[in-house]
Amino acid sequence: MLLGLSNSSGRALCRRTFGKQVHSQSIKRSSRGAATMEPQTLQMPSLSGFMQRIKECNEGMEAFSTLKPFLVNGKKVGHFKPEFVEHLSHYPSVFHVSESQVSLASELDTPEKRTAQVARVLEELRDKKVIGGWRNELYPVTSSFYDKPELLVERAAATHFGMKAYGVHCNGYVVDETGRYKLWVAKRSMSKPNWPGKLDHIAAGGQPHNLSPTANIIKECEEEASIPLELARTAKPVGAVSYTTISSVGLKPDVLFTFDIQLPLGFTPKPQDGEVEYFELWPIERVAQTVANTTDFKTNCNLVIIDFMLRHGLIGPDQVSTARVAGQNTTRCCNCLILNQVKMSPYG
């Protein structure tokens, strides 16, 4: 299924999703007293706040020309910032640094050898405080999601390597008796090394090696929100959004596999693994206003929430027109786009 918006030239800008578009319905009484349903649409005076949240996930690309490509087995699998290349240059038995690129020593000719030797370097850089937030979790280094890994690296080094990293995010929502949408919102633990205290989804996480996105989100639902297995299995894959930014650490060309799970009205998620302080059920209007007017949510959560509201018809064509009139559109080409910036990657 394709959900499309048009830019000022009339070309469709689309984002591929899986499943059907669902409109939230509210109850309305007809003149004869019969209950009817009408689509719920958020009344937003402007989409400029949404556009700002999207921009915040796609910053720093003016520095892309300063990055050095990382090639493994002839494939470009990442990019390094100059200062990290300087650290790698002290390990010539593992990393070969030239004027144009960084590669691995030719004798590291299997994924296992590459993984072991690169791990040794990364552990030393961790001990030197070059790499922080160590997770003891391995990420695959590939040029595309479905390719076999060229090697595995510690998750904390993913942004340093400028490699494509993947994650899963789940919108946990309910539809109340009047047909209005509400979204479960998590408050991240203050002890989290990244984004402590920020608002988040009911379940989300990085995509590790040797686990499918669906199996991963089911695991995260149980671990983070105590969602029973049978209920977690009802989470529906609805597509993916991607974003690219250059932070102080490195390049982040990330892809998030997105899921929706409609939860029973009587169900309350409970924190389990210590990563969440509490959950609250918010009306979708409060969620939209928080996304548009604050930076309270973890930045990439904003993209997934905006996508959720578009897919469920909560942001309609009138609001999109308002954004164009307000001059908020951009014609930047980044794969396929939602609101001309929230985009879907073909996992590559």
Residue 39 lies inside a defined structural domain of this protein: no
Do residues 155 and 169 both lie within one domain?
A: no
pLDDT digits (tens, 9 = 90+) for 233-251: 999 999 999 999 999 999 9
- The verdict on 141 and 174 lying in the same domain is no
| Token representation of residue 68 | 């050095």
The answer on 149 and 56 residing in a single domain is: no
Q: How would you classify residue 113: left for phi > 0, otherwise alpha for psi between -120 and 50, otherwise beta?
A: alpha
- The pLDDT confidence band at residue 329, using thresholds 50, 70 and 90, is very low
Beta bridge partners of 167: 206, 256
In-domain check, residue 311 = yes
Do residues 53 and 86 both lie within one domain?
no
Give yes or no for a contact between 270 and 225, defined as CB atoms under 8 angstroms apart. yes
Residues 156, 171 within the same domain? no
- CATH number (domain holding residue 232): 3.90.79.10
d(CA 340, CA 331): 6
Query: For residues 209 and 138, what is the distance between their CA atoms, to the nearest angstrom?
Result: 7
Mean per-residue pLDDT, 4-16:
33
User: What is the widest separation between alpha-carbon atoms in the chain?
Assistant: 82
Q: Same domain, yes or no, for 320 and 187?
A: yes
pLDDT in tens, 152-169: 999 999 999 999 999 999
Q: Are 153 and 270 members of one domain? A: no
Same domain, 138 and 201: no
Domain boundary among 138, 160, 182: 160
Residue range of the domain that includes 147: 68-160
Same domain, 171 and 318: yes
| Distance (Å, whole) CA 304 – CA 338 | 11
Tens of pLDDT along 294-309? 999 999 999 999 999 9
26 part of a folded domain = no
Residue type, 165: A
Checking if the pLDDT of 224 tops 90, the result is yes
Q: Which pLDDT band, with edges at 50, 70 and 90, does 37 fall under?
A: low
Residue 40: predicted pLDDT = 77
Characterize the bridge pairing of strands 342-344 and 336-338.
antiparallel
Measure the CA–CA gap between 307 and 241, rounded to whole angstroms: 8
Q: Are 105 and 184 contained in the same domain?
A: no
Tell whether 338 is covered by a domain: no
Does residue 340 belong to any structural domain of this protein?
A: no
Please state, for a pLDDT cut of 90, what percent of the chain lies above it.
70
